[in-house]
Amino acid sequence: GAGVSQSPSNKVTEKGKDVELRCDPISGHTALYWYRQSLGQGLEFLIYFQGNSAPDKSGLPSDRFSAERTGGSVSTLTIQRTQQEDSAVYLCASSLDRGISQPQHFGDGTRLSIL
Amino acid sequence: GDSVTQMEGPVTLSEEAFLTINCTYTATGYPSLFWYVQYPGEGLQLLLKATKADDKGSNKGFEATYRKETTSFHLEKGSVQVSDSAVYFCALSGSGYSTLTFGKGTMLLVSP
């Protein structure tokens, strides 16, 4: 398909382990965003990429969270030393460019559960 | 900072009833406004958008008008169907890097 693809769709891991979440944006989309959806906090912005650069990391909740994007395409969100409060659905979105009128297209998300 | 306030749900309606979900926003400048929908077990889908004052976005029978004077973007549908049952999110994209600021979502339940 031509949509945003995220993997894995579900991830269960033990507290303290590291996890990597992957996002394949729509081909040709230069802007890529990560959000987190949790019951208590709703939908929160985490990080924004334009190409391979991340000019806005203001939403990352702690230094345990990091992300990278390579080749202007695939992005990986890494959470180190996971905590139970990291349990949430992590959503990736892409848009053609960063213009405010450009709609963001979302993947189905990765549901992360920390035991 | 930017913020979006939506009416709390769940909103429970019978099929063919009229729907309104209220959304108001606070933002600097001239944001773009969006409604996204999340059907059970699925990801977020763009429902409609409006990019300037007095614009009306519409899709699948849903409509919303960008009202700058009241800072509102209320979602309406004249006749809901059971298949419209979902969570609806109002969102804005302001200046800067165009990150979306979301409301907390409103669950709509439509019964036959």
pLDDT tens digit string along A47-79?
A: 999 999 998 899 999 999 999 999 989 999 999
* Look-up of token digits 């999340």: B38
**Least confidently predicted of A96-100, B31-35, B38-42, B52-56:** A96-100
**Chain A: nearest CA to B4, how far in angstroms?**
11
Give A 11-70 residues with CB within 8 A of chain B.
31, 33, 35, 42-43, 45, 48, 50, 55-56, 59
Say how far apart CA A93 and CA A29 lie, in whole Å. Answer: 10
- CA neighbor of B84 nearest in space, from B19, B31, B24: B19
Q: In this structure, what token pair is assigned to residue B62?
A: 């849903």
Whether the predicted pLDDT of B36 surpasses 90: yes
B99 and A45 within 8 Å at the Cβ level: the answer is yes
